């Protein structure tokens, strides 16, 4: 198991905080499952199954990136707007 440095942990905390804030602005509900690494995001008043667990972890180049519950990458950790747009698309119940 890789133990993150204090600097990496602080950076991850900031990315998580930014994603949580951006999700709230879009009306999404967030729950931190594991500090600095894992969030559950769903629609306010939405069905419990219409939620997604998002992880923040290194990609193949060791850069922090957001990943879906099934392991696929979403985007770089700093691309918060793209992450939120992608999450909205996946958890939306619209056709």
Distances (CA, A) of 91 to 11, 45, 74: 26, 12, 14
Helix then strand then coil, % of the chain, to nearest 5 = 35, 30, 35
Residue 20: phi, psi to the nearest 5?
-60, -45
pLDDT on residue 67: 96
In this structure, are strands 73-76 and 28-34 parallel, antiparallel, or unpaired?
A: unpaired
Which of 88, 71, 91 has the alpha carbon at shortest distance from 22?
88
Residue ranges in the chain whose pLDDT is less than 70:
1-10, 46-49, 93-95
Query: How many residues in the chain?
Result: 95
**pTM here?**
0.83
């Amino acid at each position: 198991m890789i133990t993150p440095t204090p600097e990496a942990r602080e950076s991850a905390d900031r990315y998580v905080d930014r994603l949580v804030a951006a999700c709230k602005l879009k009306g999404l509900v967030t729950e931190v499952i594991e500090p600095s690494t894992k969030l559950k995001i769903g629609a306010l008043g939405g069905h419990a199954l219409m939620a997604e667990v998002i992880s923040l972890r290194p990609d193949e180049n060791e850069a922090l990136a957001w990943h879906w519950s099934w392991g696929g990458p979403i985007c770089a950790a700093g691309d918060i707007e793209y992450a939120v747009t992608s999450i909205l698309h996946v958890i939306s119940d619209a056709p």
